[in-house]
Amino acid sequence: MAKAIILKPAEIECEYGIKTRALAYMRECSLDKGEQVGPIWINPKDTNIYLYRRESIETWLIKDTVKFTDVPEQQNDKNDKSKLNLLKFPKKPNLTK
């Protein structure tokens, strides 16, 4: 059976695990901000029907997936474990002469 090109939000939730309410929230954010948030959707005029193309869902998932090269290194990894990280206080002067 061939994969459907057009998907309903409920089908996206079943297949990709993206909740229908999350899709609705991304549509609301897109309308509020005036820029695309989330996958591109299809909305026939004067209807409350929202459809998504499979390719736009998959493109959005690939684009917004965090890559390990984008993640900053942890603070602990910056320290050299071979050196002791002790505070170096100045030695007290010998006042007994």
* C-beta of residue 60 within 8 angstroms of C-beta of residue 39: yes
Rounded (5°) CA angle 57-61-4: 30
pLDDT, one tens digit per residue, over 55-84 is 999 999 999 887 777 666 665 555 555 556
Say if residue 53's pLDDT is above 70.
yes
Q: Phi/psi of residue 60, each to 5°? A: -65, -40
Give domain limits for the chain: 6-67
